[in-house]
């Protein structure tokens, strides 16, 4: 007797996070900024912010996509959400995110510069 393999119900564009003892599904492309805050991370999306007990390193491994880049030891950004870049900061929505000197070359390389 053969067992049928169930289709993979979780898409690669979904991330499930534990918030207040509930698993919340976040659509990864809607994530704008991920910020480290001690033992927690703050995931900012277009609609809502989520505070999750995790590390920036763990989340970076899970969402490592073409459109995410770590710009600071405390911040990962979605490069598709960048409004503008000025000196050592980037504007995403209404959030001003610092860019560290060591991470700036990687960000510039990932952008489609003219």
Domains and CATH numbers, the chain: 14-110 (2.40.50.1020)
Do 43 and 26 touch, CB atoms closer than 8 A? Answer: yes
- What number is the average pLDDT over the span 1-17? 62
Note the Cα 32 to chain centre separation in Å: 6
Which pLDDT score is estimated for 20? 87
33-74 pLDDT, tens digit per residue, is 999 999 999 999 999 999 999 999 999 888 867 889 999 999
Show the CA angle centred on residue 103, arms to residues 105 and 98, nearest 5°: 115
**Total-model pTM:** 0.84
Distances in Å between the alpha carbon of 100 and those of 4, 21, 56, 75, 111?
A: 50, 34, 16, 10, 16
Distance CA 70, CA 104 (A): 9
* Residue whose token pair is 């970076």: 60
- What number is the average pLDDT over the span 14-41? 93
What mean pLDDT is reported for the chain? Answer: 87
Which pLDDT score is estimated for 4? 45
Band (pLDDT 50/70/90 cuts) for residue 1 is low
pLDDT beyond 70 at 9: no
């Amino acid at each position: 007797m053969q067992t049928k393999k169930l289709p993979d119900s979780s898409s690669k564009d979904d991330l499930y996070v534990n918030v207040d003892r509930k698993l919340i599904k976040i659509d990864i492309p809607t994530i704008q900024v991920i910020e480290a805050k001690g033992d927690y991370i703050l995931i900012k999306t277009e609609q809502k912010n989520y505070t999750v007990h995790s590390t920036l390193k763990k989340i970076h491994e899970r969402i490592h996509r073409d459109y995410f880049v770590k710009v600071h030891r405390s911040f990962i950004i979605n490069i598709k959400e960048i409004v503008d870049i000025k000196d050592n900061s980037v504007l995403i929505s209404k959030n001003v995110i610092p860019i560290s000197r060591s991470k700036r070359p990687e960000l510039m390389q990932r952008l489609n510069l003219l």
